With several copies, the nearest count.
Chain A
């Protein structure tokens, strides 16, 4: 069975650190960073990139349209 691997890119400056992507990710890939962006928000990023399956759950629920999702079969 082909394995699916995904990756996401967060638009860091657009992100408001709401954490909704984090809790919606089935694979616990995302986490809020310690650093803040220019607006003072702790933005989301891939804490565990290897677990990403590219399901886009995070992107769908992101209110600020910050997340771009990629996926490959390997």
Chain B
């Protein structure tokens, strides 16, 4: 049996979902954003929610998410996605509303909006891409940048006296009465991708069931900002990011 024989619609195991557009993505080779986009698209297709979903895109590398997922989108000002999502969901309570935000967007400039939306228990899903850096603007330090980690605004590595501590915002969000589900995942292996997908699906279901705010943090790489190859970035993430941001559920009501 030749390869060409196998390549046959009848034998299809995995293909790009239709909810993902055909345009090439602008992300750097190996960027985690792509994987997460793909998962979200698959879930929307599987849940048959294309017609009921409104995504809120951040300012950050994922600002263009609206080009890649074939759903209605709003592009939010930097950090304000949870405010937009609050209004959208309150005015369209039977819709699936999610934000997609980076660590600069969600945990720096958007801290207040994130915490208050979660504390109000808005029935939204927050997908939080924690790559420990400001990818979009060229690799500056993020709130989640690890101690000692280099960035273009901590060229000799983050130090606490100069830059303060890395912020574990997800842990804070898990404390809030308004959150129903808070989890931390990654997408560097097939197993991780599968788990992350389940987590996002649960978050989406919670939004539809009006259970409160769900937060899915994806510990991610930004190989461009980290100045590594994609593979090396994955390894660095496992070795350095995971101990600081351990994977698993922080809350599941």
Contacts and interface: CB of A to CB of B under 8 A. Distances in A.
A16 to B, nearest CB: 4
A49 B3 contact: yes
Interface string A6-20: 110101011011111
Interface residues of A, number: 38
A11 B16 CA distance: 10
Best-surrounded residue of A7, A9, A65 (most CB of chain B within 10 A)? A65
Nearest to A49: B3
Contact of A9 (B5, B7, B35, B194): B7
A65 B6 contact: no
B5 to A, nearest CB: 8
Contacts of A41: 29
Given A7-B7, A19-B229, A69 B234 contact: no
A70 to B, nearest CB: 4
A64 B6 CA distance: 23
Nearest to B33: A63
A63 B7 contact: no
B7 A64 contact: no
B190 interface: yes
B68 to A, nearest CB: 9
A57 B31 contact: no
Contacts, number: 101
A22 B55 CA distance: 32
Task: Give the one of B8, B28, B187, B190 with max A CB within 10 A.
Answer: B190
A54 B33 CA distance: 24
Nearest to A55: B190
Nearest to A73: B11
B91 interface: no
A70 B7 contact: yes
A64 B58 CA distance: 20
Contacts of A49: 3
A67 interface: yes
B172 interface: no
Contact of B13 (A6, A46, A62, A74): A6
Interface string A30-74: 000000000101000010010010111101111111111111101
A68 B147 CA distance: 40
B30 A67 contact: no
Interface of B: 1, 3, 5-8, 11-17, 20, 24-25, 27-35, 38, 187-190, 193-194, 229-231, 234
9 contacts: A16-B30, A52-B3, A56-B13, A61-B187, A62-B34, A64-B24, A65-B16, A65-B34, A66-B16
| In the A-B complex, the 3 residue pairs with the closest CB atoms | A63-B34, A18-B30, A16-B29
Interface of A: 5-7, 9, 11, 13-14, 16-20, 23-24, 39, 41, 46, 49, 52, 54-57, 59-72, 74
